[in-house]
Amino acid sequence: MKNPSLYAAIDLGSNSFHMLVVQKVEGACRTLAKVKRKVRLAAGLQDDGSLDLAAMERGWDCLRLFAEQLQDVPADQVRIVGTATLRLATNITTFLERAEAILGHPVRVISGEEEAATIYQGVAWTSSGTGRRLVIDIGGASTELVIGEGTSAGLLNSLHMGCVTWLKRYFPEGSLCEANFDRAIAAAQHELSAVAASYLKLGWQHCIGASGTVQAIQEIMIAQGENEQITLDKLLQLKTRAVACGHVDQLQLPGLTPERTPVFASGLAILIALFDTLGIEHMVLAGGALREGLVYGMLGSRQECDAQDRTIDSLIARYQLDREQGERVRNTALQALKQLLPEADGDTTCMLARAAMLYELGLCIEYKRAPEHAAYIIRHIDLPGFTVPQKGLLAALLLNQRDDFQLEELQAQCALDASRAVLLARLLRLAIILCLRRTRGTVPEFQLTQQGERLTLTLPAGWSTGHHLRASELLAEARRQSALGWALEVVEA
């Protein structure tokens, strides 16, 4: 019997085949299965445009793995698409006939423009932010570029360059010499030359990468303790380190997985060309791409809401959190932040607000170690709209919401600098104490000021005489923070 809550999307890419199976729960998607196999279909493209038998066999073997999982999914809730290599192959019918027989579902080979538009939808659903954004996806045989705003894709193109085809063409026998990198970068710049002016003219506020290349680079940076933002300087440093390795077989970088190693250099060369030609200042990793776009297209759910907001809403419903209390703590924490930093950036404000809304998450397990449970859940759950560093910061804030500080977690996260993360933890703790009554109208008027690391919390005159518990908790918190060198004074005036 088919399970009506299940949805599946399969992407027959030029480098890898992917299958995503999700379950619709409380208006959001719960990932049940992610299966990925490196098929490197593009490596089988011959000079005459045909796909060799070995590549097709690799693809069919992979699809046999996917087929069993699809048996439980309603047929109209399955989407299977082929991308660049299947668009190019002249003997595509041979591959598709066997593929469809194995899967028991039709395979649709989509155009580069449709691929780009679907990728953009996947990014819009799973990545947060406002304003115009440039989305880049480097595949095995094509690279998609999209500028859009909200959920609407505007300018889009699919270019004939990818990490597998560039590997074959510009890094023969796996040599990582400077000359090969330069040729690969120049060729990618040539491909971009026909469309670059249109993208530069339209412009964007944010750049998001949705490819395995971008994920691999971010994982390397995190392994080195750097922040999540990819810049041209960081890419050029990676190029220098790759050249020093000399050969693909000798390429070893902290955070680089063995399965990504063969096509890392070619993907890096394409990304360098993109940054240089389009003048990209920085890029972050998307939460999803083509497969997520296919799934959310089937769900047809509301898209007017920010991706992080949808995720928070889903967690509140799933774990039966008290939304009104979360909003009370959020509003109090943000009021405190505004008093200290009237011009606080969006990331700082947003992460404090999200932590406040979820501060009681760990209570779904038990009270005593609720902060630890909350942090564990955040670290290990899918959070569409949140980057890996943002998840780390959110977990660190929830862990430090009460009791003794665990500074190593705040210092290890790389979404914000450590001093800013500590400040957010201090504000969250104060907001939680001020909101202990859990009823409307019980949060006192307060003024928070800062001088260096010293915070002064000013409450109405005589407030403590009528609110013994919260006054006691604030004094204990003042002692706790002051003992760590961050003076906190609670006064009444």
Q: To the nearest 10°, the Cα dihedral for 469, 471, 476, 478?
A: 160
Residues 39 and 148 in one domain: no
In a domain, 492, yes or no: no
**Cβ contacts of 93 within 8 Å, gap of 6 or more:** none
Residues 88 and 138 in one domain: no
Q: Which residue numbers in the chain have pLDDT < 70?
A: 26-28, 300-305
- Cα–Cα dist 169/167, whole Å: 6
Tokens of 10: 């399969």
**Strand order across the 6-12 sheet:** 28-38, 16-25, 6-12, 78-82, 108-109
CATH number at residue 81: 3.30.420.40
Residues 187 and 94 in one domain: no
Residues 132 and 76 in one domain: no
Residues 88 and 137 in one domain: no
Query: DSSP letter at 443?
Result: S
Residues linked to residue 20 through DSSP beta bridges, in sequence order: 9, 34
- Among 413, 326, 314, 24, smallest CA distance to 7 is for 24
In a domain, 448, yes or no: no
Dihedral pair phi/psi, residue 40, rounded to 5°: 50, 55
- Number of Cβ within a 10 Å radius of residue 252: 10
- Among 346, 378, 371, 384, smallest CA distance to 428 is for 371
Task: Tell me the longest C-alpha to C-alpha distance in the chain.
Answer: 87
Buried b (16+ CB within 10 A) or exposed e, 156-176: bbbbebbbbbbbeebbeeeeb
In a domain, 189, yes or no: yes
What pLDDT does residue 483 have?
94
Decide which of 63, 88, 110 is a domain's last residue: 110
Contact 424, 455 (CB under 8 A): no
CATH number at residue 318: 1.10.3210.10
**β-strand 16-25 against 28-38: which pairing, if any?**
antiparallel
In a domain, 103, yes or no: yes
Cα separations in angstroms, 389 against 221, 357, 364, 416: 11, 19, 24, 9
Residues 122 and 99 in one domain: no
- Among 99, 119, 118, smallest CA distance to 107 is for 99
What pLDDT does residue 82 have?
94
What pLDDT does residue 298 have?
87
In a domain, 264, yes or no: yes
Mean confidence (pLDDT) of the chain: 92
CATH number at residue 216: 3.30.420.150
Kindly report the pTM of this predicted structure.
Answer: 0.72
Our count of domains for the chain comes to: 3
- Cα–Cα dist 147/143, whole Å: 14
Decide which of 110, 125, 153 is a domain's last residue: 110
Tokens of 256: 């680089």
Residues 164 and 281 in one domain: yes
Residues 276 and 316 in one domain: no
- Cα–Cα dist 435/330, whole Å: 10
Residues 71 and 127 in one domain: no
Tokens of 421: 């993360």
In a domain, 486, yes or no: no
In a domain, 470, yes or no: no
In a domain, 493, yes or no: no
Classify the phi-psi angles of 206: left when phi > 0, otherwise alpha if psi is within -120 to 50, otherwise beta: beta
Tokens of 120: 């953009």
Contact 146, 199 (CB under 8 A): no
Q: How far is residue 32 CA from its own chain's centroid?
A: 18
Residues 154 and 251 in one domain: yes
Residues 276 and 128 in one domain: yes
DSSP 226-290: --S-B-HHHHHHHHHHHHHH-BGGG---TT--TTTGGGHHHHHHHHHHHHHHHT---BEE-S--H
Decide which of 232, 258, 290 is a domain's last residue: 290
Contact 251, 265 (CB under 8 A): yes
Residues 73 and 137 in one domain: no
Q: Domain limits at 138?
A: 113-290
